[in-house]
Every structure is written in structure tokens, then in C-alpha cells.
């Protein structure tokens, strides 16, 4: 409870300046009392501290699922200098590295969900997606649009969720699938870090999943954009950024 404010002393009607000075003194005193009360509570641990003192969560909380975002055939067959979507240096190698995460998930019995961006050939479902830097991409019937099953070690029992937009949650049945799998921690890999991975992470975070991103198995449209998005995801959930080796070790511990 805040301390009660003392009553103003009676005085002549014209003592306006004195009343103002008294008001200021009372407000200052009241503010100091509230400040000291808050500091006392914080010292006792009843007020939240900064994120730096929060306990770090386990890499995997509850049941996990591996979400492989937009690792499709075009990543490995399109080596041209001019691409529909810009890629940072080392993009292909980072996508190939995700195979280790897929193999570890299979060995540990962790569900693997491949997200596939795919658009109708008449472009009707692109919406505003082509208003920025991206050109036409991932069309139905294009071999490059297929999930990179061979490169990623796709197995029977893995899931494929097609999407029309950046987030794997937007307009898809991913949420229904995750509920059926009782998944609580989503481990993300794929591309682009600053677009589809980031937007999927944010929607998962807002849906109260524990979110992890394998930082050496994602790649962005540029190195700067990649790094900025990793920092933004870590801001939302402390410990979100993790290495491939740590993820593999955590999955092995489950097997």
C-alpha cells in the first residue's frame, strides 16, 4: 500500500506560493517513499529482474519437433549469379549441414516437419510477396520447388507442410499437426533466416512454444540480415540460438 498523502496545512487564502511549495515537497517525499519501497521489494526478490538474471531453460523442454524450413531442390540446382531470392555466402553449405540435425532427429524419434513454400503457376497467391526484392519463385510444377528429400535424408513418416506465405503457421495446418504431436519445443533450421525462419519463429513464440534456431543451419538474404534476425530471435527467447553440435547432443541424450 502506498503511504497516505498528508493533509495540506491551513493557511490564508492568498498563500498560493506557499501551497505550491508544500505540494512539491509532499510529491517529492511521496515519490521517495515509493522508490524505497520498490527497492526493498526488489532486494527481497519480489519484483522481476532483468532478463540477464533469468534462469536459462534447457535446449529441449518437453517434446521437441524439428522444423526444416524451405530447404528445397532449387537450393542445390540453381547456382546462377542471378537468383530469384538473394542468398548470403555459404548458403548451400549451411542448408546441407541441416542434414545432421535431420539424422539426429530420426535417431532420437523426434518428429521432422519439412516446410515447403509453393505458389500457384498463375501467381494468384503471391499477394504482396513480390513487392520487395524477391522475384517469382517456388512455382507448382517446377522441379526446384520440390522438397530436397535426397539431400535432407527424408524418410517415410516425416511430414510436409506446404505454405503460401513466409510464416509456416500462416494459412497452414502446422498448428494442428504440432498439437497432435504434443510438441512443446520447436527447433528451426533452413532459410531465409531473416524472412521465413524469423517469421515462423515469431509466430511460434506468440503461440507459446519454446523456440530454438540452429544458427549454423540457417542462412539469410545477406550476412547482415542473417545476424540481425538471430539477435532479434534471441531477444524474444533467451537461449534461442544454439549450435548444431548442441542440438545433436541434446537429441542423442533423448534416444
Q: φ and ψ at 219, to 5 degrees?
A: -150, 150
Query: Reduced to 3 states, what is the DSSP secondary structure of residue 188?
Result: strand
- DSSP E strands: which ranges in the chain? 64-69, 112-117, 159-163, 185-191, 210-219, 241-242
Q: Coil, strand, or helix at residue 154?
A: coil
* CA dist., res. 159 & res. 105, Å (int): 13
CATH 1.10.150.530 fits 64-254, yes or no: no
Q: Domain map of the chain by residue range?
A: 11-47, 64-254
What string of pLDDT tens digits covers the 255 residues of the chain?
444 444 444 555 555 455 554 455 446 555 556 555 555 554 444 444 454 667 789 999 999 999 999 999 988 886 655 566 778 999 999 999 999 999 999 999 999 999 998 878 777 777 776 566 666 666 787 888 899 999 999 999 999 999 998 999 999 999 999 999 999 999 999 989 999 999 999 999 999 999 999 999 999 999 999 999 999 999 999 999 999 999 999 999 997
Amino acid at each position: 500500500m502506498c503511504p497516505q498523502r498528508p493533509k495540506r496545512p491551513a493557511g490564508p487564502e492568498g498563500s498560493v506560493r506557499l501551497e505550491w511549495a508544500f505540494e512539491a515537497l509532499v510529491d517529492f517525499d511521496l515519490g521517495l517513499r515509493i522508490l524505497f519501497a520498490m527497492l526493498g521489494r526488489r532486494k527481497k526478490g519480489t519484483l522481476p529482474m532483468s532478463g540477464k538474471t533469468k534462469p536459462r531453460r534447457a535446449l529441449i523442454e518437453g517434446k521437441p519437433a524439428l522444423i526444416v524450413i524451405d530447404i528445397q531442390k532449387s537450393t542445390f540446382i540453381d547456382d546462377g549469379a542471378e537468383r530469384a531470392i538473394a542468398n548470403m555466402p555459404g548458403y548451400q553449405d549451411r542448408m546441407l549441414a541441416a542434414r545432421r540435425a535431420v539424422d539426429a532427429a530420426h535417431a532420437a524419434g523426434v518428429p521432422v516437419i519439412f516446410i515447403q513454400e509453393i505458389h500457384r503457376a498463375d501467381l494468384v497467391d503471391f499477394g504482396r510477396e513480390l513487392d520487395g526484392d524477391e522475384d517469382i519463385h517456388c512455382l507448382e510444377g517446377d522441379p526446384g520447388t520440390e522438397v530436397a528429400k535426397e539431400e535432407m535424408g527424408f524418410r517415410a513418416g516425416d511430414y510436409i507442410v506446404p505454405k503460401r506465405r513466409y510464416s509456416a503457421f500462416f494459412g497452414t495446418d502446422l498448428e494442428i499437426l504440432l498439437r497432435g504431436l504434443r510438441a512443446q519445443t520447436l527447433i528451426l533450421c533452413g532459410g531465409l533466416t531473416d524472412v521465413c525462419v524469423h517469421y515462423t519463429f515469431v509466430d511460434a513464440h506468440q503461440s507459446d512454444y519454446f523456440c530454438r534456431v540452429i544458427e549454423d543451419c540457417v542462412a539469410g538474404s545477406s550476412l547482415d540480415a542473417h545476424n540481425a534476425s538471430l539477435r532479434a530471435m534471441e531477444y524474444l527467447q533467451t537461449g534461442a540460438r544454439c549450435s548444431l553440435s548442441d542440438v545433436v547432443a541434446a537429441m542423442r541424450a533423448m534416444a
